Chains A and B, each alone.
Chain A
Amino acid sequence: MSRKTQALAALCAGVMIAATGCGGSGDSGGGDSTITWWHNSNNEPGKGFYEQVAKDFEKANPGVDVKVEAFAHEDMLTKLDAAFQSGDVPDVYMERGGGELADHVEAGLTRDLSKDSADIIEQIGGSAAGWQVDGKTYALPFSMGVVGFWYNTELFEKAGITETPTTMPELYAAFDKLEKAGITPVSLGGGDLWPAAHYYYAAALRGCSQETLTSAVADLDFSDPCFEKAGETVEQIVAERPFNKGFLSTASQTGPTSASGLLATGKVAMELAGHWEPGVMQGITEDKQGLGDKTGWFPFPAVDGGEGDPTAQLGGGDAWAVSEEAPDKAVDLVNYLLSDDVQKGFAENDMGLPTVPAAGSSVKDPALAELLKVRDEAPFVQLYFDTAFGESVGGAMNDEIGLLFAGKATPEDVVTATQEAADKEK
């Protein structure tokens, strides 16, 4: 066999293995004693922690074999997408809730946990709302965070800002002070659209009453004028020109020139982002410290005349779900994952913001501990709109918000585009 034919043969064999591999993966979830579990903690300490969790569960449940697969976050989402389409879903997997989950429930892919996990659902309380469809709970959130401005305390000091802004005029004043000090106030990863969209969500949260938001999620009705007003708030922020150069094309989280990178390296003073931000910044900086002890956080300021509670928060989280086809033992595993012990370990390893009250005090990172307090004191946490409304409506909304940031759409356009996409879903 020549080299070439050898290579060709290897390629053919590869194609065949790949083809059969796709078909074969379904078998692993079929047996009653084997549970497949996909998660996205693919670096330490999370990966090792979850391996230990699986071992402990196997020990407590003789005869059960937990097959753990750890992916990078984006890889996991891609794989899950394919799994949902083929109907061959892993037994235990991550759900982000909202419209996405509703689609999975409608397609009969996700198991109703309302009865089997009733105790845990009660403990979690209001945070579980994002994973409920028609009054039934389909996944158990294990980490919930909120969105706000992460800022560089040193740069704020340098610019003479002594107190974090609580109203829009105060926010604009802070922009001015920073600019006068020669500091770019805010970084924005507009290339990814969702970071820009979070401004609109936050503005709507401050402008709309909880009732309006809840009914918008349920009925996909955006006729309340507060949705257009949210667009006007965003327009005002954009008009202040606080953002980094080229913010429309800036990436959100990849590398030192991304929005998170600019904040982490002290090039800008603040960024609107979720609870993941300290972790992302640690990943970008060489010393793995991110902003370190210069990390500050404040919530999105109140909007003048807004009907929203200024202590309500925008947020989201990750939840464990069980596939419809999974063996009953998978439910036990999910319940175990939400037990006090596992949640405490999760918090101690700074893997996120735990949802079970008993684990709250175990969060070590001071910035995250502060955030946990904000979250727990919030009267309600609104799930990110794009997740809450589902990809189709959320995507149309984000696109139009992107245009709003570019000055190519009006606040009215945002509402119209969202409503049009929503009407197709009804």
Chain B
Amino acid sequence: MSSEHMLGAVASGRPHRTTPPPSAPPRTTSPRSTPWRQRAEIAFFVTPALALMALFIAWPVLSAVRFSVYDWNGLGPLDDFVGFANYADVLKDDVFTDAVIHNLVIVVGSIIVQLPLGVALALLLNRRMAGQGLLRTLIFVPYVLAEVIAGVIWFQLLQPDYGLIDAIMGGIGLTPPDEGWLGTPEVTLWVVLAVLTWKYLGLAVLLFLAGLQSVPEELYEAAQLDGASWFQTQWRVSIPLLGPTIRTWCFLSMIGSIQCFDMIWVLTGGGPADATTTMATYLVDEGTNRHNYGIAGAASVVLFAIAFVMALAYQLVVLRRDTKEEA
């Protein structure tokens, strides 16, 4: 209702207008409701996307849950109900429990290696210096490469005797592992971790650089006036203000590491001797190679549960501070 209208009606005592002025929309229902036309429009445009999501995401997810309680080899009807036996098999399987450990090693390893490296590189690259663009590109290129392609490249580089890595090491007098980087069970997981670091460091640096852009210039000026050194400024100003970005990056890194699949599938296939199996390679192997779809379904549900609990815990314990600060 316009104020002019209200004033007019009260002050002059003229009779009420039969129609409201055009500027005032009718507010008969609650302010949140939208007219049916608009709702229909939204429904019209959203339905195809929802249908695709239902077909390609919801349906497969629900199917996996359904398969997980049957003994099924992929052929014929789903009629051999086994309850939670597949879950028991998965949790009893050493290969799966090892896979969970490998995933956790990748989660922790990625964070403790990439975080300090990423922050240090971001701080360095945030200064004006020669060759900055080139350095940024070099660090970021691996992240842009498709994971499968990066895996194939590293697979060739890491070949014993004929690979470039062994050749370089031989050239500077170092001895590579006897059975090769990818053929020695004790070493291979660390090699995978190194390749993953090479691949994903670029993302960390990119995010941290973006985070540094949001640090107000005045703070640096103030620090400078107080006579703080470059190192002190970074430690007291940049890094604390980078906090929300770091916490978000950790979350992304954690979820990525829990689902780690492509790189390992290409580099090692989970071997040698299951030394690099992750939950994802385990379930793909059980499903597509062994046709134990029930076991694969159960493993995927366990993978989901672990990822969900970790994400939720992280949300509650760590990310909560960020949302509170903003609110």
Contacts and interface: CB of A to CB of B under 8 A. Distances in A.
Contact of A249 (B74, B182, B290): B182
B162 interface: yes
A424 B273 CA distance: 23
A395 B287 CA distance: 11
B185 A246 contact: no
Contacts of B305: none
A79 interface: no
A245 B179 contact: yes
Which size bracket describes the interface of A in this complex? 35 or more
Contacts of B285: 395
Contacts of B238: none
Contacts of B97: none
A108 interface: yes
B217 interface: no
Contact of B292 (A246, A250, A392, A399): A392
B188 interface: yes
Interface in A239-257: 244-250, 256-257
B107 to A, nearest CB: 24
B185 A245 contact: no
A403 B291 contact: no
B244 interface: no
A246 B180 contact: yes
B277 to A, nearest CB: 10
Interface residues of B, number: 35
A84 B292 CA distance: 15
B262 interface: no
Contacts of A405: 273
A247 B291 CA distance: 27
Nearest to A78: B288
A247 B183 contact: yes
Contacts of B274: 399, 402-403
Contacts of A256: 162
Contact of A246 (B52, B76, B183, B288): B183
B183 A392 contact: no
Interface in A44-58: none
Contacts of A424: 71
Contacts of A247: 179, 183
B297 to A, nearest CB: 14
4 A-B pairs with the lowest CB-CB distances in the bound complex, closest first? A246-B180, A246-B183, A248-B272, A406-B273
9 contacts: A84-B75, A107-B75, A191-B268, A248-B272, A249-B272, A257-B163, A392-B290, A402-B273, A408-B273
Given A246-B184, A395-B290, 18 more contacts: A12-B48, A81-B74, A84-B74, A84-B75, A190-B271, A190-B272, A191-B271, A245-B160, A246-B159, A246-B180, A246-B181, A246-B183, A248-B179, A248-B271, A391-B73, A392-B290, A403-B274, A406-B273
